[in-house]
Structure 1
Amino acid sequence: MNRFDSGGRLGRRASFVLLAGANVLMMATASAPSPIYPLYRERWGFSVTMLTVIFAVYVAGLLGALLTVGSLSDHLGRRPVLVAALLLAATSTAIFWTAGGVGSLLTARVVQGLATGAATGALAAGLVEFAPEERPHLGTTLAAVGTGIGMAVGAGAIGLLVEVTRYPDAYVFPFLTLAFVSLAVAVLAIPEPHPRRAGALASLRPRVRVPREARPEFLASVPAIVAGWALAGLFLALTPSLVTTALHVGFGAAGGLSIAVLFVGNSAGGLWSVRHAPRVATSLGAGALALGSAGLAAALALTSATAFVIGSVVAGLGAGLAFNGTLRTISAATSAKARAGVFSAAYVVSYSALSVPSLAAGLLARWWGLETTAYLYIAFVAVLAVLAVVHAGRQSTRRRSADGRPANSAAGSRQHARTPC
């Protein structure tokens, strides 16, 4: 029985691929400015603190959209919300294209944040609803993995472009503007997976809505989410400058490639997580995140670019494992009518962790220096990751006890891990 409307011309599989591509492009655009920041600083002479402010206003716009229109697609449908968000993203890249100073960068990042926030819940919910029936978990997997892939592609590609031209923005932002407009037109052709229902205006009131039945799982996921996304904030806001000043790497593309390495590991962790039960993936991921953070600190102490790359891969792998595990856990505890709102709430936590610590780091770097601030930041991430491991272990023990199974029931874990996704 087809549960989608017949308004679109694309089939379920094609619609799923289209939304997965839109998710990747949105995330690639979010990381695209990071490798260009050092060039912007040279052109217009702003400080490291202003750099983190430019990064933070993106997240402010994103959180504003999540808190207001994050669950709007649960009422209006996925298609109209996505079309509007994609056109707003095209507006942001057009502003980047014509930027003439810090004011333009701030405006572009706010608009970009609004677009990403408006699209996030609808994209995640749409991927779940268009997922192949034989692999129902593929939607949540690609929602999480697509974030890492997009961030890696955006930062890596622009990092390489920085190496060959002093004006990479003159090439990348026209392309992205055209791509977003084209995607908006294509989304008009997908079926509508979610029927309209009343309450659209009421849903615009700023609030985070997590249904009572999903709250225990949601709150249990917070330490792992914050640890992984806080580390991503360090890389996106400050790592291009950190690689140059603390590791003394003169290769122009190094900043963007360092971000790409983290998010490649993140994507690999997200894909690997489908082989494990959600709680196991979260626990393994948080442990790897703590280990990778220790490796990053050691790399700074030893001034070793090689150790920094290894630490980035391990930390990224852990963040991807943990985030996918938490999304699967939250999705399983949520009904379809509240799914976009709950995903939006999860991303409110995620993006708050992405921005607030990095903004604080930018302010502290004025007094303590970038390298000392980085040590403190990495220690903060490591402590949260360890707490997530401990909490996940306790939750697993309680669940096994409640189910009446021994704590070392390996057979049950293997059966769950092999469930097709």
Structure 2
Amino acid sequence: MTGDRLGWRACLLGGAVFAVCMAGTTLPTPLYPLYQDKFGFSELTVTVVYAVYAFAVIGVLLLAGNASDAVGRRPVLLWGLACSAASAVCFLLATGLGWLYAGRLLSGLSAGLFTGAATAYVMEAAPPGRASRATFVATAVNMGGLGCGPLLAGVLAEYAAGPLYLPFAVHLALVVCSVAVLLRLPETVRDLRPLRTVRPQRPGVPAQVRPVFGAAATASFVGFALFGVFTSVSPAFLAESLGVTDHAVSGTVVAAAFFASIAGQTAVGRVGVSRSLPLGCAVLLTGLALLAGALYWDQLALVVLSALVGGFGQGLAFRGALSAVGAASPADRRAAVISSLFVVAYTGISVPVIGVGLLSEPLGLENAGLVFIACMAVLIVMAAGYLLRRPVRAGS
């Protein structure tokens, strides 16, 4: 094989492993109504169980987001797969709410270990001069994996036996296969250092990255906040307000948002990074408006449209953000800077979701969703204004 072909082989196989890990983090999404019936907990508890995952991601990114810059990408990815496997085991053994918390915590640890290290691995394994395409692969497999999780779980839960067991058994088998693949992939970090040299990092980025990072982080926050609502409370809304109890349908609706994100990322090559960030915010605002209409009029078609439009906007904004940050980061700090970007993103995917859960008790799920949409619309307008005043100047 030529060097370019070997590079793309490692890039794509690394991306496949990345997708398997991320699929595990969204696997429980269409199953939450079943867990509510089995264990008897409220919608607020659903959002807290979901947020445990996001807070675990943030904790790992802060404490060990730069670990792969020192010890290498492969060891960190292997640790992430171990946490993903342990998460699947917790769900397989679940006999109460505590097991769900443990499973989501371990799932968050796996995602926290993977986000920076796997993104950096995919970008570094690609042949020289192909940074833009490698960035697309990294973001696409991330979002594609997140979309495959609810789709796989929803279909298996609806059409196969053991809806609370089979999805996690299948994922556990995929994780084992991923370990075998990862052990055969080359390491991309050349200057390896001992684990003891890794120190917890504060949220921060090198001075030369900060002008780009502020705009990128703003766009990432609002995009991931929308995903947070779709992956935590949309199955409950579909069941309670629209009477949609088909798990395959609810899983497909959530998956549609993530797959639309990939389409949005594809469009960045034509739109350009500097324009994709404010344009992504505008499309996200449209997606939120459609979601508000879905909540107000109880229309499944509007829910699907909001997932597609909002996901497309998130893809535009997120790939533009990652391209700009990756291009501006020094090689020896790239994983750490990418991890910092994901800290902001996962703050967006967790904090607003808990707010919706808290408001759902006194206001009801639909009204809580409308309050969320109003708050996020304000943030998106502010973000777009900021990006228009201070455009990101980085190649896509």
| 1:345-365 CA distance string (max 9 Å, x none) | 011111111011101211121
Partners of 1:163 and 1:256 in 2: CA distance: 10
User: Amino acid of the residue matched to residue 292 of structure 1?
Assistant: G
Residue 199 of structure 2: which of 193, 196, 204 is its match? 204
CA distance in 2: counterparts of 1:3 and 1:267, whole angstroms: 28
Paired residues of 1:39 and 1:166 also in contact (CA < 8 A): no
Partner letter of residue 14 of structure 1?
Answer: R
Q: Distance in 2 between matches of 1:51 and 1:343?
A: 29
Match of 1:266 among 253, 261, 265: 261
Q: Distance in 1 between matches of 2:45 and 2:147?
A: 24
Measured in 2, the distance between the counterparts of 1:213 and 1:335 equals 9
Offset at 1:105?
Answer: 0.7
Q: Structure 1, residues 309-363: CA drift from partner, whole Å, max 9, x if none?
A: 1122111100110000011111111111100000100111111110111012111
- Aligned partner of 1:163 in structure 2 is 158
Shift, 1:296, TM fit: 1.0
Structure 1 residue 229 corresponds to structure 2 residue 224: yes
Residue in structure 1 matching 2:348, options 346, 353, 359: 353
Cα offset, 1:293, TM superposition: 0.7
CA change 1:132–1:198 in 2 (3 A) is: closer
Give the letter aligned to residue 204 of structure 1.
Answer: R
Moved more, 91-100 or 132-141: 132-141
CA distance in 2, matches of 1:261, 1:182: 26
- Tell me which residue corresponds to 2:174: 179
Displacement of 1:3 in angstroms is 10
- 1:408 aligned residue: none
**Residues 219-298 of structure 1 correspond to what in structure 2 (within 5 A)?**
219-298=214-293
Q: TM-score, normalised by structure 1?
A: 0.89
Q: Which of 106, 114, 130 does residue 119 from structure 1 map onto?
A: 114
The equivalent of 2:364 in structure 1 is: 369
Question: Is the 8 Å Cα contact of residues 296 and 366 (structure 2) preserved in structure 1?
Answer: no
Aligned residues: 395
Normalising to structure 2: TM-score of the pair?
Answer: 0.94
Determine whether 1:379 maps to 2:344: no
Q: Which has the larger radius of gyration?
A: 1
The residue that corresponds to 1:19 in the other structure is 14
Q: Does 1:388 align with 2:383?
A: yes
Worse-matched range after superposition: 182-191 or 312-321: 182-191
- Could you tell me how far apart the structure 2 residues matched to 1:282 and 1:238 are? 27
Task: Report percent identity of matched pairs.
Answer: 33
Check whether the contact 2:146–2:258 (CA below 8 A) recurs between aligned residues.
Answer: yes
Q: CA deviation at 1:252?
A: 3.6
Q: Tell me how far apart the structure 2 counterparts of residues 253 and 192 of structure 1 sit (CA, whole Å).
A: 39
Per the alignment, residue 327 of structure 1 pairs with: 322
Say which of 60, 66, 73 aligns to 1:71.
66
After superposition, the C-alpha distances for 1:46-105 in whole angstroms (9 at most, x for unaligned) are: 111111111111112111111111110100111111112112211111111121111111
The alpha-carbon deviation at position 193 of structure 1 amounts to 0.9
State the shift of 1:210 in Å: 0.9
Tell me the amino acid that sits aligned with residue 27 of structure 1: M
**2: CA distance between counterparts of 1:198 and 1:250?**
52
SS in 1 for 2:140: helix
Structure 2: gaps (5+ residues): none
* Offset at residue 202 of structure 1 (A): 4.6
What SS class does the counterpart of residue 309 from structure 2 fall into? helix
Distance 2:51 2:388 in 1: 33
Instruction: Name structure 1 gaps, 5 residues minimum.
Output: 5-9, 400-412
Partner of 2:23: 28
> Which range moves more in the overlay, 217-226 or 348-357?
217-226
1:253 is paired with a residue whose SS is: helix
SS in structure 2 of the partner of residue 348 of structure 1? helix
| Partner secondary structure for residue 168 of structure 1 | coil
Deviates further, 219-228 or 117-126 = 219-228
Q: Distance in 1 between matches of 2:68 and 2:357?
A: 35
Kept in 1: contact 2:66–2:201 (CA 8 A): no
Task: Say which is worse superposed, 245-254 or 50-59, in terms of deviation.
Answer: 245-254
Q: CA RMSD in A?
A: 2.1
Query: How far, CA to CA, are the matches of 1:236 and 1:101 in structure 2?
Result: 21
1:316 aligns with 2:311: yes
Distance 2:358 2:101 in 1: 17
1:106 Cα deviation from its structure 2 partner: 0.6
2:86 to 83, 91, 116: 91
Cα distance in 2 for residues equivalent to 1:166 and 1:63: 35
